[in-house]
Amino acid sequence: MSLMRVENINKVYGTRKGARKFQALKQINFEVHEGEFIGIMGPSGSGKTTLLNILGSIDRPTNGRVFLDGVDIASLKKKQLAEHRIKNIGFVFQDFNLLDTMTLKENIILPLAIHGADVHTIETRLQKLATDLGILTVLDKYPYEVSGGEQQRAAACRALITDPKIVLADEPTGNLDSRSGRALLELLAQINRTYNTTILMVTHDAFAASYCQRILFIRDGEIYHELYAREDKQQYFDAIIDVVSVVGGESK
Amino acid sequence: MKLTTLAFRNIKRNFSKYVMYFFTLTFSVFTVYSFLALLQNEVVNHAFIYRERYRSMLIGFGVVIFVFVTFFLISSNTSFIRARKKEISLYSLFGMTNRKVSKLIFLETMLVGLAALVVGILAGIFFSKLIAMILLNVTLVDFVGDITFSIHPRSIYLTILPFLGVFGLMGLSGLRVISKFELVELFKGEKVSEGKSKGSYILLFLSVLLLGCGYYFAATVDSYLIIMYSLPILISVILGTYLFFWGGLPKILHWLKKNKTKYYRGDNLIAISAFNHRVRSIASTMATIAVLSAVATTAVATGYTLYKNAEKDTYSRVGFDAYFYGSEELLDDVYQAFKNHGVEFESYTSERLVARPELRITLDDWLYYDSDNAGDYFRVYPQSVFNEIITFSRRDLKPVHIKPGEAIYALESWTNVPSLDAELKQAIMDSPFKFSNQTIRVTSFVDAQFLAFGAIQVIILNDDDFVSLHQAGDIITGKTETGPPFSKVTVFKYDNPLRSGEVARSITEILSGNADSFRVAYNTYVELLETFGLVCFIGFFMSIVFILMTASLLYFKQVMAAEEERGQYQMLRKIGMDSELEKRVITKRLLPVFLIPLIIGIIHSIFAMKSADTVVFSFMITQQNSYLVVLGLSSVMYAIYALVYGVFYFITKHQYAKVVG
Ligand SMILES: Nc1ncnc2c1ncn2[C@@H]1O[C@H](COP(=O)(O)OP(=O)(O)OP(=O)(O)O)[C@@H](O)[C@H]1O
Ligand SMILES: [Mg+2]
């Protein structure tokens, strides 16, 4: 079943008078199905973050439309948009983006608190997720008091706590060493499987991409290629490397 | 690039931070210059009768202001440098030596400081005439001279020198802060909180205890106790304030967090945790502000109350527009003086009669009155004379009616301790006044001590009793052994008494040295107004300096914080904080910073005013509940103070929203 439909998206930076125009995205079209784990790859500056921001309604496309569950995001008013962001979308950022002023627990419940959920709902959801993600013991610590992996899991927890329809992750492994990176990918895959959460992940890393069921390759703001997961993991990985070497962009 | 160019560029870039700092500094320079110029101004100097008092007050408060300005400059400079840690570390990363970095920072502060000096002094010169006029208008009853515009070079360099000294100190303290920076800290970033605090029950308890004790003693009705313990009271309140902000407030925030239904609401969660995160780094500032605003509001409120009550105070001291007792010839001279000045007047002459009943009034171990004591005697009035003479007074007294055998005792609050006063009244009523043929009892009291005219005690008798006592020789004229030839007192009532300086001066000239005793309301009024007007004037400037300093310090710290918190707001927006919620978060984040010190400062001041009322005002203000009058007048000051703080709050909020937005 189609969850998100992206139709003819264009993004031009510098639309204000006098600014130099730059087209970051050109005619992007694709669909995301419910429960999918999709990767987006491409060289630096190709427009991945731009695309993700548009999908997450943080940014608006210059033209084109994004449908989530059949609703055109562009038609939403400012207030509805904020609500939509909280209810439907979970974000995981590269630098975690946890607030240093809050404990992990407070960070995690933040979206629900903003949404105005009652204490009971908040507590029960928090307990379940924190147990599943194994950060129950560090909930009362501050971000700078815990490891990078724990921070990343807390960030994932925050993305999931509202039970979003889709999780958007921008280079979530970028700041982690390979072991923590792998752990996080396992986690995302597990979340994808157990909660049937739809995940869209931007990555530079071919290994990380190999966790995805489908990979979109972007070059110069256009979708250049699409790859589907194969039975054989090594073969899939090699195929990704092949495309990357053509598209460009570093692999670790 | 030359260092000066870099400094100029930095100032331009940090304009919004420098602008408040500049403004406050300029106003401080302006105040110091104005005070100095007033001291140098010959006309102003001559206008004051109590010149020494005037000069020492101006100098004293000038020094106080200067001390606080120094404190403000150094502390804001330090926090400014801290906030620019990243930038400074970058300079050193690119190979600038610490010396050179401090030189750059010093240059920046120096440029801003010099600009403030120039603008402040220019403003001081420009407004010097106005300031002098305001001062004379406020303090003098009928100043008629003219003040010419003048520049005082001495004041200019007396202003510049100490400020340059302070700038030097700032440079040194900046150097100290910078040399403590480690390059590593740059890479650690601002992640680690410097200001988080869990608070402490002990500190909270201690601070409440100290404040409670301070308040309790400040509010006692015993003026003697207050004066005795004024220093311990001050110390305990100030210490309590600091402890509250250091340990108590964080604990309260900690409690707030426990109430999940409230705490788990988006804006509360964000604002409280952010405030909690910073509370330690701003605690000392908030405590200092609370104390300073208490000092400032109390100073102004006291001055204002005294000033507003100068007229009432004058009449509670003098009672009449003028009175004297002395030789009879003087009376004609005084009449002549009124006529010469063309002033309409009425006068009344009464005998100063004396009674010495056999009487002992004791209160516990205090012998209040003893007829064996030569100094203890009564000034006596028959009811009819009393009812007549009070019509010449400016005091609002009602005619009395006294039954035979009874008397009214003139008692103004003596001890100022209501319970003690009540005991005293009871003791007086319980003591029979034994005269040779009859006994009289006091049945009521009236606030008319101003009728004593040289005595300490005053009673008013029934007319018939008076006549019989007089005949029996119990009431005699006030001639003492060495006494004056003229035992009568003459009181005067004339038009516009507190504005008619000419006639008051003439009367004073005639009577001084010649009359046995005299008082002219005008003279008392002039003295009160001069002193209290000056207190008001100085208090006003001091308060403005304090408000500007404290408020701009807060502004400064919040805008610095905004820079660090910008990332958080970006993130919060990403996860769905809408602009409405953002506004609420910013409000809740900033309001307590301004509101808590203000409220605590005002509470301090309310108690300080209570003490001031007990010690000073209640002797002056003859109304029943002098504290309410005092509070009414002070609340005008509190309102102004709150208003100014409100304006600063909105400016800060605007700037904060701009930075994080
Ligand atoms: N706000 C902006 N204004 C103008 N141009 C922008 C803006 N944001 C991004 N761009 C440009 O758009 C292009 C795409 O940027 P984007 O951040 O989407 O790249 P990316 O694929 O995420 O790169 P990376 O892998 O380095 O994160 C870049 O060339 C960038 O310079
Ligand atoms: Mg990117």
ipTM for the predicted complex: 0.77
| pLDDT value at B357 more than 90 | no
B401 and B310 share a domain? Answer: no
Q: For strand A198-202 and strand A37-41, is the pairing parallel, antiparallel, or unpaired? A: parallel
Residue of A58, A83, A100, A151 to mutate for B, most B C-beta atoms under 10 A? A100
Nearest to A101 among B260, B277, B573 (CB): B277
Q: Do B575 and A85 touch (CB under 8 A)?
A: yes
Residue closest by Cα to atom 16 of ligand 1: A47
Chain A positions touching B194 (Cβ under 8 A) are none
B129 and B218 share a domain? Answer: no
B328 and B405 share a domain? Answer: yes
Q: Which residue has the tokens 């038009």?
A: B495
What would the mean pLDDT of B246-264 be, rounded to a whole number? 85
- Chain B: give the shortest CA distance to residue A97, in Å: 6
Q: Which residue has the tokens 């937005």?
A: B661
- pLDDT at residue number A5: 92
- pLDDT at residue number A215: 93
Which of B155, B189, B223 terminates a domain? The answer is: B189
Give a yes or no: residue B362 inside a domain: yes
Q: How far is the CA of A51 from the centre of ligand 2 (A)?
A: 9
Percentage of residues in chain A having pLDDT higher than 90? 21
Q: Which residue has the tokens 């160019």?
A: B5
- B97: Cβ contacts below 8 Å, ≥ 6 apart: none
| pLDDT value at A18 more than 80 | no
Nearest to B571 among A82, A99, A115 (CB): A99
Q: Do A115 and B266 touch (CB under 8 A)?
A: yes
- pLDDT at residue number B145: 67
* Ligand 1 near A44 CB (within 6 A): yes
| pLDDT value at A249 more than 60 | no
Asked if A76 has any chain B CB less than 8 Å from its own CB, the reply is no
Residue type, B354: V
- Ligand with smallest separation from the Cα of A40: 1
Instruction: Dump the DSSP string for chain A.
Output: -EEEEEEEEEEEE--STTSPPEEEEEEEEEEEETT-EEEEE--TTSSHHHHHHHHTTSS--SEEEEEETTEEGGGS-HHHHHHHHHHHEEEE-TT----TTS-HHHHHHHHHHHHT--HHHHHHHHHHHHHHHT-GGGTTS-GGGS-HHHHHHHHHHHHHTT--SEEEEESTTTTS-HHHHHHHHHHHHHHHHHS--EEEEE-S-HHHHTTSSEEEEEETTEEEEEEE--SSHHHHHHHHHHHHHHH-----
Residue of A53, A77, A84, A99 to mutate for B, most B C-beta atoms under 10 A? A99
> Which CATH number describes the domain made up of A2-247?
3.40.50.300
* Ligand 1 near A95 CB (within 6 A): no
How far is Cα of residue B29 from the mean position of the Cα atoms in its chain? Answer: 22
| pLDDT value at B209 more than 90 | yes
- pLDDT at residue number B170: 82
Cα–Cα distance measured from residue B343 to residue A10, given in angstroms and rounded to the nearest whole number: 93
Which of B146, B164, B189 terminates a domain? The answer is: B189
Asked if A113 has any chain B CB less than 8 Å from its own CB, the reply is yes
For residue B274, the chain A residue with the least C-alpha distance is A101
Q: Do B580 and A86 touch (CB under 8 A)?
A: no
B516 and B642 share a domain? Answer: no
Q: Do B576 and A56 touch (CB under 8 A)?
A: no
Most confident range (mean pLDDT) of B546-555, B611-620, B646-655 is B646-655
| pLDDT value at B481 more than 70 | no
- pLDDT at residue number A11: 92
Residue closest by Cα to atom 4 of ligand 1: A13
Question: Which atom of ligand 1 is closest in space to residue A218's alpha carbon?
Answer: 21
- Ligand with smallest separation from the Cα of A47: 1
Phi, psi values for residue A210, rounded to 5°: -70, -10
Asked if A194 has any chain B CB less than 8 Å from its own CB, the reply is no
What would the mean pLDDT of B300-316 be, rounded to a whole number? 81
Chain A positions touching B567 (Cβ under 8 A) are 97
- B29: Cβ contacts below 8 Å, ≥ 6 apart: B116, B117, B119, B120, B121, B124, B159, B163
What would the mean pLDDT of B285-296 be, rounded to a whole number? 85
Cα–Cα distance measured from residue B289 to residue B245, given in angstroms and rounded to the nearest whole number: 11
- pLDDT at residue number B241: 93
| pLDDT value at B144 more than 70 | no
3-state DSSP assignment of residue B440 = strand
Chain A positions touching B197 (Cβ under 8 A) are none
Nearest to A113 among B196, B269, B571 (CB): B269
B376 and B452 share a domain? Answer: yes
Q: How far is the CA of A62 from the centre of ligand 2 (A)?
A: 19
CB B2 within 8 A of CB B102: no
CB A207 within 8 A of CB A237: yes
- Total number of domains in chain B: 3
| Residue B250 belongs to domain spanning | 193-317+554-661
Asked if A93 has any chain B CB less than 8 Å from its own CB, the reply is yes
- A151: Cβ contacts below 8 Å, ≥ 6 apart: A96, A98, A104, A143
What would the mean pLDDT of B32-39 be, rounded to a whole number? 87
Residue B478 — very low, low, confident or very high, per pLDDT cuts 50/70/90? Answer: low
* Ligand 1 near A28 CB (within 6 A): no
Give a yes or no: residue B537 inside a domain: no
Residue type, B435: F
| pLDDT value at B188 more than 60 | no
DSSP state of B435: -
Q: Report residues near ion ligand 2: CB below 5 Å.
A: A 49
| pLDDT value at B623 more than 50 | yes
- Averaged confidence pLDDT in chain B: 82
- pLDDT at residue number B184: 60
For chain B, the residues whose C-beta falls within 8 A of a C-beta of chain A are 190-193, 196, 260-261, 264-266, 269-270, 273-274, 276-277, 567-568, 571-581
CB A159 within 8 A of CB B571: no
Q: Do B264 and A56 touch (CB under 8 A)?
A: no
Question: Which atom of ligand 1 is closest in space to residue A202's alpha carbon?
Answer: 22
B502 and B488 share a domain? Answer: yes
- pLDDT at residue number B417: 66
Cα–Cα distance measured from residue B285 to residue B289, given in angstroms and rounded to the nearest whole number: 6
* Ligand 1 near A134 CB (within 6 A): no
| pLDDT value at A252 more than 50 | no
- pLDDT at residue number B603: 92
Question: Which atom of ligand 1 is closest in space to residue A53's alpha carbon?
Answer: 18
Residue A251 — very low, low, confident or very high, per pLDDT cuts 50/70/90? Answer: very low
| pLDDT value at B348 more than 80 | yes
B207 and B341 share a domain? Answer: no
- pLDDT at residue number B604: 92
- B523: Cβ contacts below 8 Å, ≥ 6 apart: B504, B508
Phi, psi values for residue B369, rounded to 5°: -145, 135
B161 and B215 share a domain? Answer: no
B462 and B482 share a domain? Answer: yes
* Ligand 1 near A14 CB (within 6 A): yes
Q: For strand B439-446 and strand B475-477, is the pairing parallel, antiparallel, or unpaired? A: unpaired
CB B521 within 8 A of CB B123: no
E strand or H helix that includes residue B161: helix B153-180
What would the mean pLDDT of B375-388 be, rounded to a whole number? 87
* Ligand 1 near A162 CB (within 6 A): no
Cα dihedral sign, B2-B5-B9-B14: positive
Hey, which of A46, A171, A217 would you mutate to test ligand 1's pocket, going by the most ligand atoms within 8 Å of its Cβ? A46
Question: Which atom of ligand 1 is closest in space to residue A11's alpha carbon?
Answer: 12
| pLDDT value at B197 more than 80 | no
- Averaged confidence pLDDT in chain A: 86
Chain A positions touching B578 (Cβ under 8 A) are 78-79, 81-83
| pLDDT value at B374 more than 80 | no
Q: How far is the CA of A94 from the centre of ligand 2 (A)?
A: 9
| pLDDT value at B318 more than 80 | yes
Residue B256 to residues A208, B309, B459, Cα–Cα distance (Å): 43, 45, 63
pTM strictly above 0.80: no
CB B152 within 8 A of CB B40: yes
Read off the pLDDT of residues B224-250 as tens digits, 9 standing for 90 and up. 777 778 888 889 999 999 999 988 888
| pLDDT value at B563 more than 90 | no
Residue B620 — very low, low, confident or very high, per pLDDT cuts 50/70/90? Answer: low
Cα–Cα distance measured from residue B21 to residue B552, given in angstroms and rounded to the nearest whole number: 7
* Ligand 1 near A13 CB (within 6 A): yes
Q: Which long-range contacts (CB under 8 A, 24 or more apart) does A178-183 make?
A: A178/A252, A180/A147, A180/A148, A180/A149, A180/A152, A181/A205, A181/A208, A182/A207, A183/A149
Chain B positions touching A83 (Cβ under 8 A) are 576, 578
- pLDDT at residue number A117: 82
- Chain B: give the shortest CA distance to residue A100, in Å: 6
Read off the pLDDT of residues A57-116 as tens digits, 9 standing for 90 and up. 888 899 899 999 888 888 888 778 878 888 888 888 877 678 888 889 988 988 888 888
Q: Do B269 and A101 touch (CB under 8 A)?
A: no
Instruction: Dump the DSSP string for B197-216.
Output: ----HHHHHHHHHHHHHHHH
Asked if A106 has any chain B CB less than 8 Å from its own CB, the reply is yes
Instruction: Dump the DSSP string for B261-281.
Output: HHHTSHHHHHHHHHHHHHHHH
Phi-psi sector, B190: left (phi>0), alpha (psi -120 to 50), beta = alpha
- pLDDT at residue number A30: 92
Read off the pLDDT of residues B93-114 as tens digits, 9 standing for 90 and up. 777 777 778 788 888 888 888 9
- pLDDT at residue number B131: 86
